[in-house]
Amino acid sequence: MPRKPSSNIESRHVSTKDPLKIEVEKVSFFRQVQTFFMDRRTQVICAVIMVAFSLFALIAWISYFFTGAQDQSLLSMSHAERVATRLQIANLMGLPGARLAAFMVDGSFGLVSILVPVVLALYAVKLLHVLHFSGWKLLFCTAFWLLWGSLTLGFVQLVTGLDTFFRWGGAHGEWLGELLNSYVQPIGTTIILVSILIIFFIIADNSFIGKAKHFGRWFLGLFKKKEIIEEPQPIDTDDKQDTEGEHDTSVSTSFTIEVNDPENTDETVTDSDQSDTNEITIQIENQESEDKTDETGNYSQDETTTDTDSGTQDNPDLDINDTEEVELSKQLEPYDPRKDLEFYKFPTLDLLKVYDNETAPVINQDEQQANANRIVTTLRNYGIEIEQIKATVGPTVTLYEVVPKAGIRIAKIQNLENDIMLSLSAIGIRIIAPMPGKGTVGIEVPNEKPQVVSMHSVIASKRFQEEQKMRLPVAIGRTITNEVFCFDLAKTPHLLVAGATGQGKSVGLNAIITSLLYKKHPAELKFVLVDPKMVEFSIYKPLIKHYLAAMPDQEDRDIIITDCQKVINTLNSLVIEMEDRYSLLAEANCRNLEDYNEKFNSRHLNPEKDVENVVTKKLLHHHFMPYLVIVIDEYGDFIMQAGKEVERPIQRLAQKARAVGMHMILATQRPDVKIVTGTIKANIPTRIAFRTQSVVDSRTVLDAKGADQLIGKGDMLYSGGGNLTRIQCAFVDTPEVEAIVNHIHEQQGYSQPYQLPEYVPEGQEEAVAPGSVDTKRLDPMFADVARYVVSKQEGSTSRLQRAFEIGYNRAGKLSDQLEATGIVGPNKGPKGRDVLIQDMESLERLLESLNV
């Protein structure tokens, strides 16, 4: 009796005449249902039905309060009795509407039943991608208000004794209210209802505790004559994510084809990797994993506080010396950089487009069978016999792993690349001989119908959502085995992206930026975007108050850098920022940014302490330092225009910026040796190559051929750690990026972009002694800051930083200018500076003399 194959493995003998036969496992019923409901048309149809029902129920509900008393007696009659009495249902929605409204109001949850059609309409709008919110949270809140509201209304009607033609809390509220009232009486019931409500607010609103504390202080202050001095409140850093579970199915499909020896039909070939059978087998392996992902990625805080500075206390005269720092750190809660934007909400997954079958490869049995036959036939025509061929289906490419018979030279198979391509009529194939870590030769063949790898599928994947070890996680796409490919930009540490025009570079850059936006808070990450084409990165301009960095005098409209001279200035400014960061790390005895920020967050670094940059003699202060990602699209244009002026700061950043959390992404469509120089390659070992025009360009980027055989449209090779990985880049469309950017733009943001140090080009600076201040080039905010300092009679740098929401670099620069113009005295460390001008009239005369 033949053995029945298992659910995921099909085994059978293969004759010599039919050596290759592939059978694909039938799609499960569950997957068919899941695919049906994920279809866009199904979602739209469901949304229309839900909106129609909601509108019907809402009109019937409203009409019930005007016609319910009249319709009440008619609902119990039969149709014949209503006809005989010649009475008509008065509800605007007729008999069905009257019965539905009576059930909603009187027969179930009472007045709060209005939530049912309203929430149903909201879910319909969510399906249409018009509104974006957490579905699970809305469901939880709706269920609570239905139960609690019904009980409360039923209890109130019972206590007041008011009688109407309907029950305020419906049947549920009346029954439960009477039951609770009979056990604990009205006072006990009231206490229970209020307690339940408070618990709900604590669970549903992370800021409720903080609001309650502030309200309590305000209320107590009404009864006290003296001013209440508030003690510093502990900072609650318990971040919670409001998640909505969502299933993501990742399928890696492969099948094994073993070939009979044509010279000996009675002998079977044993695959050492297959333990199930020793016979000639054909196997299909399907691995499915359901990933429950976080739909929202939202972060929220438990308490509301005012904006804080980088770890300083409210008292500007707080004197902290080196011996007291450890004791002070024990008294203070750890510093949380996210507290500055504690109400910021991360982008949600429903901002990204969902494609059909986005998590599973589309398997064409006939196509795979035909390609396998052609490969085997071509190899046999040239005297190459194979023992086994195993195919793995990916989104755009199928990998055929061939096991040649003993004695066959691998180089002989490599030389047949063009012949195999001709027999397959393929755009391009890639032969990997041998496969790393395997005793096989790989032949990558493009699929006839490539599958779109959506950004939603990689961002929603379990691997990306649950990634905790990577500091700058990037989900770039899916591999040939249909696995989500992630890498840590912080470890690359820089990235070179190259490829011919129209092959997917811009989409790849958008995928990288999108990944980081979904993972990193604005306090933890800043971008410097350079775009000579002026159209690729302009879509990110609304992120100016959240994720973008700029020089002090840079205008908002120029936040995306397009001009070559501004690129030079910005790159040199980034070099200054790098040196400043190294000075702070050296003073803190830290080797990298992660150690420094951890030390700062634990309150072991004094933000008021002066730290001198040994080169520029500029005074710095400890502060939390975000990662800086510099993305330069088509940097080859700038190399051609300015040459060494651009290349020199890029080289310095590539050599040193890694340890201080500054990472570059360079993209070019001209990967020749004049652009991708030896110095660039030596300092940027991680590279991505989309399809190139020639094998020479491929070798320039990857030091290997293969990029010239890619099929385009996001097909790419990732070179990192000495290995080449073929990946189908995730596709993120312009409307998706716009939706993400608009979502972030609507969130709580900073008052200005992250401030980079000032850089004065050579030849433009005037003779100023080191450490001095040029009073002819004052900060645009100088006049406002001067008026603030004189009016408050406080000259602390940290106070300026808090009051004007500016960075330490700019605040320190303003303090130096105030000293140089005689408004404040010299720096006294933690105690701040003395204000030398006592009245506003004297200040205005000074400002007039300075022409500000």
Q: What does the pLDDT read at residue 148?
A: 95
Structure-token match 């080289």, residue found? 651
Closest C-alpha among 134, 132, 130 to residue 142: 134
pLDDT band at 86 (very low <50, low <70, confident <90, very high): low
Structural contact between residues 14 and 280, judged by C-beta atoms closer than 8 angstroms: yes
Q: What does the pLDDT read at residue 30?
A: 66
Q: Which of 23-27, 599-603, 680-684 has the lowest mean pLDDT?
A: 23-27
DSSP string, 479-537: ETTSPEEEEEGGGS-SEEEE--TTSSHHHHHHHHHHHHHHHS-TTTEEEEEE-TTSSSS
Residues 16-34 have a mean pLDDT of 51
Query: Does residue 442 carry a pLDDT above 50?
Result: yes
3-state helix, strand, coil in the chain (%, to 5): 45, 15, 40
Q: Name every residue whose Cβ is closer than 8 Å to that of residue 557 and which is 6 or more positions away in sequence.
A: none
Of residues 415 and 829, more confidently modeled: 415
Q: Which of 170-179, 586-595, 671-680 has the lowest mean pLDDT?
A: 671-680
Secondary structure class of 386 (helix, strand, coil): strand
Closest C-alpha among 267, 443, 293 to residue 368: 443
**pLDDT, tens digit, for every residue of 376-412?**
888 888 888 888 888 888 888 888 888 888 888 888 8
pLDDT band at 834 (very low <50, low <70, confident <90, very high): confident
Ranges 118-127, 516-525, 783-792, most confident: 516-525
Q: What does the pLDDT read at residue 478?
A: 92
Helical axes 40-75 vs 94-104, angle rounded to 10°:
90
The mean of the pLDDT values for the chain is: 79
Q: How far is it, in rounded angstroms, from Cα 829 to Cα 699?
A: 56
Q: How far is it, in rounded angstroms, from Cα 585 to Cα 66?
A: 73
Q: Which of 264-278, 377-391, 741-755 has the lowest mean pLDDT?
A: 264-278
Q: What does the pLDDT read at residue 793?
A: 85
Q: How far is it, in rounded angstroms, from Cα 57 to Cα 63?
A: 10
Q: Name every residue whose Cβ is closer than 8 Å to that of residue 704 and which is 6 or more positions away in sequence.
A: 698, 719, 724
Q: How far is it, in rounded angstroms, from Cα 101 to Cα 64?
A: 6
Query: Does residue 24 carry a pLDDT above 50?
Result: no
Structure-token match 């006072």, residue found? 187
pLDDT band at 84 (very low <50, low <70, confident <90, very high): low
pLDDT band at 241 (very low <50, low <70, confident <90, very high): very low
Tokens of 255: 């099948």
**pLDDT, tens digit, for every residue of 467-503?**
888 999 999 999 988 899 999 999 999 999 999 988 9
Q: What does the pLDDT read at residue 329?
A: 54
Q: Name every residue whose Cβ is closer than 8 Å to that of residue 60 and which is 6 or more positions away in sequence.
A: 91, 92, 93, 96, 97, 98, 100, 101
pLDDT band at 625 (very low <50, low <70, confident <90, very high): very high
Structural contact between residues 314 and 48, judged by C-beta atoms closer than 8 angstroms: no
**pLDDT, tens digit, for every residue of 313-323?**
333 333 334 44
Q: What does the pLDDT read at residue 830?
A: 61
Structural contact between residues 247 and 298, judged by C-beta atoms closer than 8 angstroms: no
Tokens of 303: 């308490």
Q: What is the DSSP letter of 111?
A: G
Q: Name every residue whose Cβ is closer than 8 Å to that of residue 410 and which is 6 or more positions away in sequence.
A: 404, 433, 434, 441
Q: What does the pLDDT read at residue 83?
A: 64
pLDDT band at 172 (very low <50, low <70, confident <90, very high): very high
Query: Does residue 55 carry a pLDDT above 70?
Result: yes
Residues 552-562 have a mean pLDDT of 86
Of residues 77 and 711, more confidently modeled: 711
**pLDDT, tens digit, for every residue of 114-136?**
999 999 999 888 888 777 777 78
Whether residue 434 has a cis bond before it, omega within 30° of 0:
yes
Q: What does the pLDDT read at residue 209?
A: 81
